[in-house]
Structure 1
């Protein structure tokens, strides 16, 4: 009888050891899996951050700190953002991507609507009024030489020269034309 009890206790102990080993292996497996997933997440995060940095460096080559336009005679100042997508020109002043930000023809567009009124009064600008354009620490001053309605924005952009700034906006109740204000650099 004594031998049966000892054998039973040994069998129970062996079963318990097997169960403990199984639990330990499961825990080690889960730990290794979590560690691997954590490393993958870290690597993906690092790749995303590097992609962001490289795209910023490729597009800008410099950090934009200040980018705005001012109409002193109208007492209006507005911030400029890159692009002419609908979101940009419907909410702020957009810069045409295909041209440089300074020292070349600058083309800006902003659509007048309930939320966006930056160019609402540019039809009031007169020949001889001044436009101040700032990109970081560089400031260019322009004198207005033209303020009229045009039927073809693209054609008017082609006619402009490198020492000008061009402002384009919509005209209320005339959907097929644009207001075009041209300034000639004076500094």
Structure 2
């Protein structure tokens, strides 16, 4: 009987030691390792931080539903239409919406609006825009003039036209009447004097 008790006690002690090791390596060791890794990181100088432009910082602090600018498209009689940060239905019922995943000023600016059925139907005449039409986008950063280069019907899940670009462009998206799964997409490139836009 004594041998069996000693054996059981030995097994229990080994199990407790093993369990303690498992708990340490599962919960405590990752914290210990993270602290050691953090101590080994060298702090560099501020040159990289200074290289970050003020414009990029300001773009990062635009809040949901803030008014960010206005849009004017003379050829479709759109004049100083307000633009807010968000493409939620509540925003689009009152203003043009800015896709938060796109640029505010430099790069590809993505905007959306209704074209019927609400007070926010700012893109009701977008279907009539022509290649070569001018678009004016005004923000606190300045005003950009764009010339329309693309007008096409896309699938409602095609987000490729809102991707980042090296050039400065504006992308306008609205619904297509009678086609719930389609969108009208208009893209315009920032105007540079003397450049031919395929007119």
TM-score normalised by the shorter chain: which range applies? 0.5 to 0.7
Write 1 or 2 for the structure with the bigger share of helix. 1
Structure 1: which 4+ aligned runs deviate by more than 6 Å?
none
The 8 Å contact of residues 85 and 100 in structure 2, kept in 1 or not, is answered as yes
Aligned twin of 1:99: 102
Q: Distance in 1 between matches of 2:107 and 2:67?
A: 19
Q: Is 1:154 paired with 2:159?
A: yes
The 8 Å contact of residues 65 and 136 in structure 1, kept in 2 or not, is answered as no
TM-score by structure 1 length? Answer: 0.62
Q: Cα offset for 1:161?
A: 5.1
After superposition, where does 1:12-31 map in structure 2 within 5 Å?
none
Q: Aligned-pair RMSD on alpha carbons?
A: 2.6
Q: Which structure has the larger Rg over C-alpha atoms?
A: 1
Q: Distance in 1 between matches of 2:166 and 2:158?
A: 14
Q: Is 1:132 paired with 2:136?
A: yes
CA 88–153 in structure 1, closer or farther in 2 if over 3 Å, else same: farther
Aligned twin of 1:115: 119
After superposition, where does 1:160-175 map in structure 2 within 5 Å?
162-175=167-180
TM-score by structure 2 length? Answer: 0.58
CA 141–103 in structure 1, closer or farther in 2 if over 3 Å, else same: same
CA 57–139 in structure 1, closer or farther in 2 if over 3 Å, else same: closer
Gaps of 5+ in 2: 1-57, 193-199
Q: Distance in 1 between matches of 2:176 and 2:164?
A: 21
Q: Is 1:85 paired with 2:81?
A: no
Number of residue pairs matched by the alignment: 130
CA 171–59 in structure 1, closer or farther in 2 if over 3 Å, else same: same
